[in-house]
């Protein structure tokens, strides 16, 4: 009986090895067939991640510069360089800063910014 059990065991091992080899061959043929598509998707995903991180960093830098300019303007309201930086980097904060200045309110009324027009 042990010889029969041994033969069954060897057949099962060969069968599982064949299945493993068959699966590997299927994966290989799938890869060969769709190689360009797979690499294209990987490259597009990588470019998306890189572009997203660059845009996020730029936005954070713009907001940091606007915040620094706003803090400078709170200390010295006549600083023209800080006004230009704030107007360039964060027009909403610039409008909020000049909301109590009547001349600036008239100037802002002529603005084309969507938030100010409301």
What pLDDT sits at residue 51?
A: 98
Q: Delimit the domains of the chain by residue range.
A: 36-117
CB count in 10 Å sphere of residue 82:
22
End-to-end CA distance of the chain: 91
By the 10 Å C-beta count (0-12 exposed, 13-18 middle, 19+ buried), 67 is classed as middle
Split the chain (118 residues) into runs of 10 and give each run's mean pLDDT: 72 73 86 95 98 97 92 88 91 80 68 67
What pLDDT sits at residue 100?
A: 66
Per-residue exposure over 92-117, b if at least 16 CB sit within 10 Å of its own CB, e if not? ebbbebbeeeeeeeeebeeeeeeeee
């Amino acid at each position: 009986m042990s010889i029969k059990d041994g033969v069954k065991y060897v057949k099962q091992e060969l069968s599982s090895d064949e299945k493993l080899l068959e699966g590997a061959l299927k994966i290989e043929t799938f890869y060969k067939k769709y190689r360009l598509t797979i690499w294209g998707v990987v490259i597009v995903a990588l470019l998306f991640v890189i572009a997203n991180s660059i845009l996020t960093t730029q936005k954070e830098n713009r907001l940091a510069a606007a915040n620094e300019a706003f803090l400078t303007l709170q200390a010295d309201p006549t600083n023209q360089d800080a006004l230009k930086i704030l107007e360039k980097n964060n027009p909403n904060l610039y409008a909020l800063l000049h909301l109590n200045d009547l001349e600036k309110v008239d100037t802002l009324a002529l603005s084309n910014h969507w938030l100010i027009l409301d």
